[in-house]
Homo-oligomer: A and B are copies of this chain.
């Protein structure tokens, strides 16, 4: 059907099928949680027979890993785009807000919380591949926090790595309770988080609201 004279660059049928399998698996993992989904179910959803899957993947774990890989990669791209759209010269905290919002929305779409336990079950090799990718992803947010600190935008005394994990964890968990049908939008949640993260909930001017235990 196509010209495609360069055999080297041609997308093979296998590649297309493989891509479709990842796509379908992602959706199923998202809907039912990665544990629930059987190879047979993935096959059925991809309109293929179960046995055929093993032409494309060596094991179920490999499918899992491929899904995670494409997922983290997609999240990374979405987050980077949001950050760029916020403008490179905007406040790092504004960019952080943009990044967290994109992260949350992506998590909701791909529902990556499915990873939770499943990751531990992955064979070491596959797991570490994934972890490396995750660290890279986290570095985006860590970088913004560091930049904010460097620019003197932050109150001193925070362990930024902990702050980052708390903030991202709040959103990861939010993907569990968030109701897309509800009154709040994903952006509302991200905004609320950022309001808390930025200024805290306690009243009191400046250092009085510093959140030290004594002030509580």
Pick out which of these stretches binds chain B: A9-17, A50-58, A65-73, A156-164. A156-164
- In contact, A174 and B163 (Cβ under 8 angstroms): no
Cα distance A157–B205 when bound, in Å?
16
Cα distance A177–B117 when bound, in Å?
12
**Which B residues lie within 8 Å of A194 (CB)?**
211, 213, 216
**Which B residues lie within 8 Å of A202 (CB)?**
93, 153-155, 198-199
Cα distance A177–B168 when bound, in Å?
12
**Which B residues lie within 8 Å of A30 (CB)?**
none
For residue A200, CB closer than 8 A to chain B, the reply is yes
Which residues 178-207 of A sit at the B interface, judged by CB distance below 8 A? 184, 189, 191-207
A209 to chain B, nearest CB (A): 4
A204 to chain B, nearest CB (A): 8
Closest residue on chain B to residue A160 by CB atoms: B201
Q: How many residues of A contact B (CB 8 A)?
A: 61
**Which B residues lie within 8 Å of A169 (CB)?**
169-174, 176-177
Cα distance A96–B158 when bound, in Å?
20
- In contact, B113 and A195 (Cβ under 8 angstroms): no
- Residue of B162, B199, B206, B212 touching A211 (CB-CB under 8 A): B199
For residue A89, CB closer than 8 A to chain B, the reply is no
- In contact, A192 and B113 (Cβ under 8 angstroms): no
- Known contacts A197-B196, A200-B198; is-contact A176 B116 (Cβ 8 Å): yes
A121 to chain B, nearest CB (A): 7
* Interface membership of chain A positions 12-24, coded 1 if the CB is closer than 8 angstroms to chain B and 0 otherwise: 0000000000000
**Which B residues lie within 8 Å of A176 (CB)?**
116, 169
- In contact, B196 and A199 (Cβ under 8 angstroms): no
11 contacts between A and B (CB under 8 A): A93-B216, A152-B203, A162-B184, A165-B173, A166-B174, A166-B193, A169-B170, A196-B197, A198-B216, A199-B202, A199-B210
Give 17 A-B pairs besides A35-B117, A36-B117, A198-B210 with Cβ atoms closer than 8 angstroms: A36-B121, A97-B213, A153-B202, A153-B203, A154-B202, A159-B192, A162-B184, A163-B201, A165-B173, A166-B173, A166-B192, A166-B193, A167-B170, A169-B170, A169-B176, A169-B177, A198-B200
